[in-house]
Amino acid sequence: MPLSFKDIGHGNSKLGKLVVHTTRSGEAHHMGTCPSSCPLLGEHNKEHATDKFDEDYAAALARAVPLFGKAWSYTHWMPVHWRKSGFNMLGRTTMNFSANNWEQAQYVFKNLKVPVVVNLSEEPPKGDVPAMWCPADTMEDMDCSRCGGSKGPICARPDRSFIIMFKQKKWKKTPCYAANGYVKFNWIRTMKNKMKQSDGKILLKWVSRLRHGTMLRHHVAGDMGQIKGE
């Protein structure tokens, strides 16, 4: 399955220049690793997504943390698929569940005890779960590499006691931010990187060569699905 890597110096504006990142795509379509249940795909893309979770990739992803560094990502796969893959422990990748709406965000946070983020267009009603807006959405000159001060990016903290909210942007056709602009361009280009080894093996090899203390955002675009036919 195709995977691409961006080292320091290629940071996008949200991540900041110090955060390295990967992109993961399917072979026949860039959205081929996304769960078909994701509402951000748009109806016209559902057929390109997958219903099969890639357990091998998830297990490697959980361990793919740079030495003395931090790694995090987001997923639209329900936690039942990945709660036992090894994420969200000391020295492992922090996996955030990306909820479909405010109600689901609160439910998953309270009952499934995993880090949760949610895209919202406005301030939600006060609930019993604390929440904060992503500082990069509300402050000038803020990005993931500066977020959270000395403790590092807030999204990379598995034990946080609040939900993170992102300002929902309005795109013309496909609601997913990654299916628009430069991220989409790179996502489509990633389809050409056909690998001889599994994504997990390639990923772990790449991570082992990163500088000590590197901050890594896993798949800026793409998810933990296994593409159809594999």
CB of 164 to ligand SF4, least distance (A): 5
20-39 residues in contact with ligand SF4 (CB under 6 A) are none
Interface with ligand SF4, residue 153, by CB under 6 A: yes
Helical (H) or strand (E) element with 220:
strand 215-221
Which of the stretches 43-51, 130-138, 175-183, 191-199 binds ligand SF4 when contact is defined by CB under 6 A? 130-138
- Residue 140 per-residue DSSP state: T
Tell me the helix, strand and coil percentages in the chain, rounded to 5. 30, 20, 50
**Pick 62 or 154: Cβ nearer ligand SF4:** 154
Q: Say if CB 156 and CB 94 are below 8 A apart.
A: yes
Among 78, 135, 193, 198, binds ligand SF4 (CB under 6 A): 135
Among 6, 63, 110, 149, CA closest to 157: 149
Dihedral sign of CA atoms 66, 69, 74, 79 in order: positive
Give the C-alpha separation, 51 to 49, whole Å: 7
Site string for ligand SF4, 79-118 (x = CB under 6 A): ----------------------------------------
Give the C-alpha separation, 93 to 86, whole Å: 8
Which of the stretches 61-69, 79-87, 148-156, 171-179 binds ligand SF4 when contact is defined by CB under 6 A? 148-156
Interface with ligand SF4, residue 147, by CB under 6 A: yes
Residues contributing to the site for ligand SF4 (CB under 6 A): 134-136, 144, 147, 153-155, 164
